[in-house]
Structure 1
Amino acid sequence: MEQEQNIQHTISAKDALHDYKEGLGHFSEKMPDIAEAYKAFTEVCFQEGSLSRRQKQLIALGISVISQDEYCIIYHAKGCIDQGCSEDEILEAVGVSGAFGGGAAMSQTVTLVQGAIQELHHKGH
């Protein structure tokens, strides 16, 4: 029988997503033109195209791991889950990040990414 790992990470995935949305809302109130342009740009970037939305979320998660950005890691881990990625697909994608980012990328993978998967995928989101 496989034991579920209890990995501690620095922030709750759900809290981080809430904080991000709240902060984005505040920024949008203060800088609506910039916020709308950014939103339109990112929506186009993540549209279905030659790459699927699923593939784009996996790429974005890998970039987030390399960038060491906890909020983006959690946001795109959720994006991967929302697009139906399996835990193995997510871990393989961020494993590739380790080839470029070494120990720093792997530390994010074995803590924050796995914690977000456990919190968002196994408990619902």
Structure 2
Amino acid sequence: MSSIFESIEHAQAQLKELAPNQWNAFQQFNELVFKEGALSVKEKEIIAVAVTHITQCSRSTDFHTKAAKKAGASLKELVEAAFVATAIKAGGGVTHGTHVHNAKKTDASDFLYARSNLQNLKSIGKNAHEGFKGYTQFNAAATTEGMLNTKLKEIIAVAVGIATQCPYCIDVHTKKAENLGATNEELAEAIMVSSVVAAGSSFTHIAKMIQSYND
């Protein structure tokens, strides 16, 4: 793995030469997002690690795991954050599954993401009782207080919901985070972490593109 990363590092050095203005702007973007603010650097890096499990960029996971460790995060905290991401990913699948109910209705609304559509979760729970029970138990376990408190877990859930582009996840977990005391500033900073990590995944793949071109 180290040799692969070294090769990417070489490609990134070339990227800096090929597009210096864009390189510098991205570096500043990343630096500003991860500055201490309403969320600590440690909290931001924990959120970042969770989001990398959605972007599925191994380079980003490696980078932010090391940054989180440097900021004081424990392995248990990072594992809990990763499980929050896993649960939200599962939740996106379940909640979007409610559209199956609408697909079978000839008079269904044309508005795809109506909040009221979540009422159709009852139908999934009824028709796939055991599987739905397993999902709800897993989701509860992933978001229950542990090494990370429930407020931070729900902030992570919002950031992951942004990364998965699941409006239902964003709606549900924003409300839960707010009820647990999350501020607008904390949520906004988590959104920016999600944004820069998603961009970081593309950034890494630009380097891979250069690497492929040079091979």
Report TM bin, short chain.
0.5 to 0.7
Aligned residues: 90
Coordinate RMSD, CA, aligned: 1.5
Q: Decide which of 73, 83, 87 is 2:75's aligned counterpart.
A: 87
**Does the 8 Å contact 1:58/1:90 carry over to 2?**
yes
Is there any run of 5+ residues in structure 2 with no aligned partner, and where?
91-215
1:60-79 alignment, distance < 5 Å? 60-79=48-67
- Alignment TM-score, normalising by the size of structure 2: 0.39
Shift of 1:70: 1.1
Partner secondary structure for residue 42 of structure 1? helix
Q: Does 1:43 align with 2:34?
A: no
TM-score (norm 1): 0.65
Long gaps (5+) in structure 1? 1-11, 103-125
Indicate conservation of the 8 Å contact 1:17/1:71, yes or no: yes
Looking at structure 2, the residues matched to 90 and 15 of structure 1 have their Cα atoms a distance apart, in angstroms, of 25
Q: What is the letter of the counterpart of residue 77 of structure 2?
A: E
Determine the C-alpha separation between the residues in 2 that align with 1:46 and 1:86.
18
Cα deviation for residue 27 of structure 1 reads: 0.5
Query: Offset at 1:15?
Result: 4.2
The 1:75–1:19 alpha-carbon spacing in structure 2 relative to 1, beyond 3 Å, is farther
Structure 2: distance between partners of 1:92 and 1:35: 33
